[in-house]
Amino acid sequence: MMSKDSDARRLQSEVAVLRAENAALREQLTLRDQALDATSTFFVITEHVAPEPIIVYCNRVVADEHGFRREELIGKGIAALARWATRDTEHASQLNEALRAGRTFNHERQVTRPDGSTFWLGMSVRPIFDGAGRLTHAVSVGADITAKRDETLKKQELQDKLVAEMKERARVVIELQLAQKLESVGRLAAGIAHEINTPIQYVGDGVYFLRSAFEDFNHLLDGWRNAVDALDDDSAHGALRHAVAELTAKHDLEFLRAEIPKAFDRTADGVARVTNIVKAMKEFAHPDANEQSPADLNHAIDTTLLVATNEYRYSAKIHTEFAELPHVVCNIGELNQVFLNLIVNAAHAIHDAGKDVNTGEIKISTAVDGDSVLISVGDNGCGVPPENLSRLYDPFFTTKEVGRGTGQGLAICHSIIVDKHGGTISAGSKLGTGTEFTLRLPIAGRPPRTGA
């Protein structure tokens, strides 16, 4: 009897202990739930079973932010909470691979609530293994990162805007410097042209007079020679003929009569070339800074080639293929600057490739394409590395050595062609083979700009 009472009391005691432990455990679980429900951090526990993980716990903020009641999620597949999870097989595969390898998987997703509203979710998923090393559960911790993401995007937009403004400011500075330089060059060219034109005109007029006078002098010489030859054949006249013959031989009269006209021709040709160069300088640096008017691009390219002769004289031969072009509405002074930059760059590329006038070649062609004209300037120089092609038009980017290139030329070309003329500029290049730039310009000029 005593033994039965003792067993009953012991059982009651053990039951009381278990009840107390259970109450303590429930109190701890309640405290855990209250603590997790009080935080804004998302907390989800899933059981790793097939065909999809099951939600065994989530705190209140998870249900609230996703638009559910917690009771609607517990015991349901993860697709009830993350509908995209079952549709994105690649994401599911990456997640499973990371968890089975014992790695934490981080991801960001845009979540759509049942009412159609959305938010951005950032989560870290950590695996839980049992004593046998089997993957049984996963713990996901995360938060609504919409505001943070928006802030990051705004910062990035501000940064991009700042970079764009800095580039625009650099472009404006370059254009201002170019405008000032061209204005100075224009004044200088006009002054030089004025100073050269007058004396070169004197030289030209003098050469014309001397050539005409020499022709008259030649006729006079022929008359004198005929008169001497017609004299009587006596001793006095014989001595005169002999003296004339000696003077003719001494001063090589026949050589002079043959070579002096050639010298006049060469001098006249030189005067004409100087005149053309002066004219080209005036056209190249014409001070039309803002006005656009119809212009002959083929003639403009020829003018630029004449001005730039010294840049390519010892580096390359020039080959031109000019189509018959309509006059293009443009600022021809600015386009002259573009043509000059491309020609000089081509000459430098050929020189850098170790070529000379016998092997170097610059090809310039023009064509009509619909309502636009195309101008291409190509060379067989050193070429541009592929990684540098996208940076060619960046201000101050250059591959030339210090003192030879400022990195402004192609940036200015891009600004003139694209911004000021509504055209396009593109480049194709192969390292060690050469580079070709293609310009497209609207025949009717830059389209009118819309907006404020």
Alpha helices, H only, 230-328: 235-250, 253-284, 297-307, 309-312
- pLDDT at residue 396 greater than cutoff 60: no
- pLDDT at residue 24 greater than cutoff 90: no
In the chain, residues under CATH classification 3.30.565.10 are: 288-452
pLDDT attached to residue 387: 76
Tell me if 181 sits within 8 A of 409, measured CB to CB. no
Lowest mean pLDDT among 1-15, 71-85, 203-217, 264-278: 1-15
Q: Tell me the average pLDDT of the chain.
A: 80
Of 23-27, 226-230, 402-406, 411-415, which one has max mean pLDDT? Answer: 411-415
CATH number of 288-452: 3.30.565.10
Q: What is the DSSP letter of 133?
A: S
Q: How many Å from the N-terminal Cα to the C-terminal Cα in the chain?
A: 105
Lowest mean pLDDT among 183-187, 198-202, 327-331, 355-359: 183-187
pLDDT attached to residue 405: 46
HSE-CB at 97 with a 13 A cutoff on CA atoms is 6
pLDDT attached to residue 185: 60
pLDDT attached to residue 121: 86
In the chain, residues under CATH classification 3.30.450.20 are: 39-144
CATH number of 39-144: 3.30.450.20
Distance CA(271)–CA(269), nearest Å, equals 5
Distance CA(235)–CA(48), nearest Å, equals 140
The pLDDT-based confidence of 407 (bands split at 50, 70, 90) is: very low
Average pLDDT over residues 103-122: 85
pLDDT attached to residue 441: 95
Kindly list the distances between the CA atom of residue 215 and the CA atoms of 79, 202, 221, 263, 267, in Å, as whole numbers in the listed order: 107, 20, 10, 13, 16
pLDDT in tens, 429-445: 888 889 999 999 999 98
Tell me if 338 sits within 8 A of 306, measured CB to CB. no
pLDDT attached to residue 371: 94
Of 141-150, 163-172, 173-182, 221-230, which one has max mean pLDDT? Answer: 141-150
The pLDDT-based confidence of 402 (bands split at 50, 70, 90) is: very low
